[in-house]
Amino acid sequence: MTSMTTFVRGHLGSSPEMFSVKEEGRSPGVRFRLAVTESYRDAQGEWKQRETQWMTVKAWGSLAQNVFASLKKGDPVVVMGRSALESWTNSDGQERSALVVTASSAGLDLARCTALKTASIQELTRAQAEKLGEINSSPFNSSNYEGNISIEDPQGALNSDKQEEKGSLEEPSLNGDEAPF
């Protein structure tokens, strides 16, 4: 499988979900769908948007933990990583493929929102975390991370009314041919 370094900006089309691989010694990862919509100015100077492109993003190790704890559906993000076309056979026996980015870095797009930094999971000692009530025995328990990152949106770009004007972030259904990753 050939891959190339990729840098993309977009919005999370799904909240990160944890997954595991059945290889011994392999850490759990997270994956999410990323909606990328290019904007441009037409000849009259009006902003236009091209068709939204969808891709799957995967992350591993401490990046996976921080993505899971910090990002949610609709967040504007930047992702850097390796992109590759992954293939599989669906339940009907058809060969399918999709673009997948394995992230080496990911975070909020500060050109589109602001963020308040808190200690990462790795920076917190267990005693500090228990005292703060931030984590329990599972580093991937999403209910323990509410409020770690707060997004301020002074221009209202993430306002649901504005998103309806710009187009929905809902991913179109693929009629059961979705990638298994």
Instruction: Tell me which CATH homologous superfamily contains domain 3-166.
Output: Nucleic acid-binding proteins (2.40.50.140)
pLDDT tens profile 22-79:
766 677 899 999 999 998 899 999 999 999 999 999 999 989 989 998 999 999 999 9
pLDDT tens profile 122-157:
666 555 656 655 444 444 444 433 334 444 444 444
Domain definitions of the chain by residue range: 3-166
DSSP result, the chain: --EEEEEEEEEESS--EEE--SSTTPPPEEEEEEEE--EEE-TTS-EEE---EEEEEEEEHHHHHHHHHH--TT-EEEEEEEEEEEEEE-TTS-EEEEEEEEEEEEEE-TTT-EE-----TTTS-HHHHHHHT---S-TT-GGG-TTSS-EE-TT-TT-HHHHHHH---PPPP-TT-----
